[in-house]
Amino acid sequence: MADTEFDIIVYGTVCLDAIWRLPRLPAPGEYVDILEERTMVGGEASNTAIALAKWGVRVALVGNALGDDEDGKRLLALFEREAPEIDTRFLTISPTATTPYCLCMATPDGHRTMIGKGFNEMECPPLSLELARSAKLFTADPNAYEAGVQACLLAAEAGAKVVPMDFTRDAEVNRRSAINLTSSAHVGANKSLAEYAAYATHIRDASGRACIVTCGEEGCFVAEANKQDPAVHVAAYSLPEVVDSTGAGDTFRAGILYGELQGWELLKTARFASAVAALNCTALGGWGGTRSLAEVEAFQRETPLRAALPLREP
């Protein structure tokens, strides 16, 4: 790829996260202690961008407008203190916006419960053609869906490789993307692994582009472009304890983008992304478990994969 100002544009959600680790969710009227808590930069775009920046990737973070409020000021201060690698020049402050805020409650079963404000009215700015031309790769999350679709299509037109997250219901985005990345939650909960594998293969065959469906602790399914084979299952890594699964999908996406930037084969990239996501689950927050590249490589060498699960027919 030709040299550009940025390696990757990450477009989408920026918010303030409060993370609580709890022994369990309380029943109505019950009290439980907070075991650990942290307030930090959050949102799908922020989580992905921060992980990439900590690996030395040149990132342009284009997010929703932040409010001229206390949460917005606190969020910008947290960027400066905790993620100085991120250039915040593309984050705008609007007197009419509300800074999105999310309370994430993490429990030992690996699940998190989220309560928030400011997300329904969130707006992302149009992507400028000049900025789109300044990067090698582009990614977006679907929270501001129509703006995200338009940004994906413009980035593709500008010549960037597009790796969208959870846009597989839009056939045109699928066709214009390099890798279509989505989650089992987006495809539909309570489906069998065979159905998720078939979905990845279907999107690949319909669009002519690679597709990856992530399935949490059950790994992911990778359908490579220009192949006739069914999607390949990539197992997740075993962890003795999950602290918080917030951001696992966002850091997985960061791993996919990093591998694509390096020119790796897709299965190698997916295994790297799986390791990144697993490590992120060992700490609080959407990017709190991001490790150095050397630590990720050591984790891959030393950590066993989870046992393969049977693909029950749909």
Burial code (b: 16+ CB inside 10 Å, e: under 16) for 170-190 equals: beebbebbbbbbbbbebbeee
266 SS3 class: helix
Position 208 scores a pLDDT of 98
| pLDDT, tens digit only, all 314 positions of the chain | 457 899 999 999 999 999 999 999 999 999 999 999 999 999 999 999 999 999 999 999 999 999 999 999 999 999 999 999 998 899 999 999 999 999 999 998 888 899 999 999 898 999 999 999 999 999 999 999 999 999 999 999 999 999 999 999 999 999 999 999 999 999 998 899 999 999 999 999 999 999 999 999 999 999 999 999 999 999 999 998 899 999 999 999 999 999 999 999 999 999 999 999 999 999 999 999 999 999 999 999 999 888 665 554 43
* Contact (CB, 8 A) for 235 and 219: yes
| Domains of the chain, earliest start first | 6-26+33-302 (3.40.1190.20)
8 A C-beta contact, residue 313 and residue 192: yes
- Amino acid identity of residue 204, one-letter, is R
Q: In whole angstroms, what is the distance from residue 210 CA to residue 201 CA? A: 9
pTM assigned to the model = 0.95
Q: In whole angstroms, give the CA distance from residue 41 to residue 77.
A: 9
pLDDT of residue 111: 85
pLDDT of residue 64: 97
Structure confidence at residue 311 (pLDDT)? 55
How much is the pLDDT for 308?
Answer: 62
User: Residues 168, 170, 174, 176: is their CA dihedral positive or negative?
Assistant: negative
The DSSP line for 150-208 is HHHHHHHHTT-EE--BS-TT-HHHHHH-SEEEEEHHHH-TT--HHHHHHHHHHHHHHHS
Q: Are strands 179-183 and 59-63 parallel, antiparallel or unpaired?
A: unpaired
